[in-house]
């Protein structure tokens, strides 16, 4: 009897052990969590919220162990912030992505950018003949004449059309001191048509707005007849019902938006992963979906945007030696500001 009782107790103990082991196995099937000490990078960008948020969300999904903070502002404000941070001894950002190309040449010259040639680079189109990995184009923005279709019945086909009576007192350009794309556009148009081009527009009542978004808003509202505007901001307004049309004269204004990593970044590996993702097909499709030109030919651009391909944008864009306009930036902005009588 004692032997039988001992055997029963032993069998119960074995069964209990197996049951506990089975329960423990189920607990181990929980999904792995991101490490609490995961990496975090900071991105400074002039891209609009709708674009940068989608890209950051996509990157975080693809890289669950890396957090991303970003600050979106005009290129001028970001460069002022970086200058102040350098004075205090530390740049807080790891990555910068804006549309003011001369700033990147200046930062390269000052030695604050890391050299990084992404393995994805071979898959993208490069508008920089002197590319060395200090920065890489991650978007090919275009600017054209944006018209209010309720006020302009015949779309302009030439930049000189802006001197016509139908645009008198109704055309504006964003402030080049605040907008990188505006500054580049002014520099390119001045190079292409000479210093008298904007004098003639001023004589026809042209004026200066604030940011790139505001002049397009003012055109959509009817306060302006037309403006010099960026593709993706314009296309976003059109998608929401704005009575706007983007007109491209033959002399195409194409402004690359470079991305770069700061040399003193403490998260170099994570920053490089962000650049890789930004140049990849997923992020570049997001760029194209916002109505601007990606740097990849294998990304689909919706025909409704009326954009040229990346290859054509590079081929037809007004050619410029960026090194030539670095030293002249302050003079270009000063001369334009005085000409247009911009209030400070």
Domains contained in the chain, CATH given:
39-140+255-314 (3.40.190.10), 142-253+326-340 (3.40.190.10)
pLDDT for 343? 63
**Calpha distance 341→255 (Å, rounded):** 26
Residue 79 CB coordination number (10 Å): 20
Give tens-digit pLDDT for 167-187: 999 999 999 888 878 888 999
Within 8 A by CB and 6+ apart from 120, the residues are: 276, 279, 280
131: left (phi over 0), alpha (psi -120 to 50) or beta: beta
User: What does the block give as tokens for 286?
Assistant: 């997001």
What's the pLDDT at 123?
Answer: 97
Confidence (pLDDT) at 184: 87
- CA distances 139 to 133, 136, 215, 287, 290, Å, are 16, 9, 22, 7, 11
Per-residue model confidence (pLDDT) at position 35: 38
> Whole-angstrom Cα distance, residue 8 to residue 73?
75
Task: Output the CA torsion 297→301→306→307 (10° steps).
Answer: -30
The answer to whether 334 touches 342, Cβ cutoff 8 Å, is no
Counting as low any pLDDT under 50, the low residues of the chain are: 1-36
pLDDT recorded at residue 68: 98
């Amino acid at each position: 009897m004692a032997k039988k009782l001992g055997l029963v107790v032993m069998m119960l103990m074995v069964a209990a052990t197996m049951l506990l082991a089975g329960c423990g196995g189920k607990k181990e099937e929980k999904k792995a969590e991101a490490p609490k000490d995961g990496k975090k990078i900071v991105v400074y960008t002039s891209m609009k919220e709708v674009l940068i948020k989608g890209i950051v969300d996509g990157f975080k999904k693809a890289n669950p162990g890396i957090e991303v903070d970003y600050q979106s502002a005009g290129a001028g404000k970001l460069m002022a912030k970086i200058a102040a941070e350098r004075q205090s001894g530390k740049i807080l950002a790891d990555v910068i992505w804006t549309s003011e190309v001369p700033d990147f040449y200046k930062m390269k010259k000052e030695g604050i950018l890391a050299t990084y040639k992404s393995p994805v680079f071979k898959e993208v189109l490069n508008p920089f003949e002197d590319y060395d990995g200090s920065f890489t184009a991650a978007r090919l923005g275009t600017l054209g004449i944006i018209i209010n279709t309720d006020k302009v019945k015949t779309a302009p086909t030439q930049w000189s059309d802006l001197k016509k009576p139908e645009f008198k007192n109704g055309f504006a350009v964003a402030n080049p001191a605040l907008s990188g794309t505006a500054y580049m556009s002014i520099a390119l148009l001045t190079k292409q048509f000479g210093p008298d081009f904007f004098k003639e527009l001023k004589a026809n009542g042209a004026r200066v707005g604030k940011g790139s978004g505001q002049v397009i808003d003012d055109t959509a509202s009817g306060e302006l007849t037309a403006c010099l505007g960026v593709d993706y901001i314009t296309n976003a307004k059109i998608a929401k019902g704005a009575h706007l049309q983007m007109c491209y004269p033959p002399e195409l204004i194409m402004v690359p938006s470079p991305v770069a990593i700061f040399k003193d970044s403490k998260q170099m590996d994570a920053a490089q992963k962000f650049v890789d993702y930004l140049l990849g097909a997923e992020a570049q499709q997001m760029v194209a979906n916002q109505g601007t030109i990606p740097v990849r030919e294998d990304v689909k651009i919706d025909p409704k945007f009326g954009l040229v391909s990346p290859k054509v944008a590079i081929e037809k864009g007004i050619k410029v030696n960026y090194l030539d306009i670095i030293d002249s930036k302050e003079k270009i902005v000063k001369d334009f500001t005085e000409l247009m009588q911009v209030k400070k």
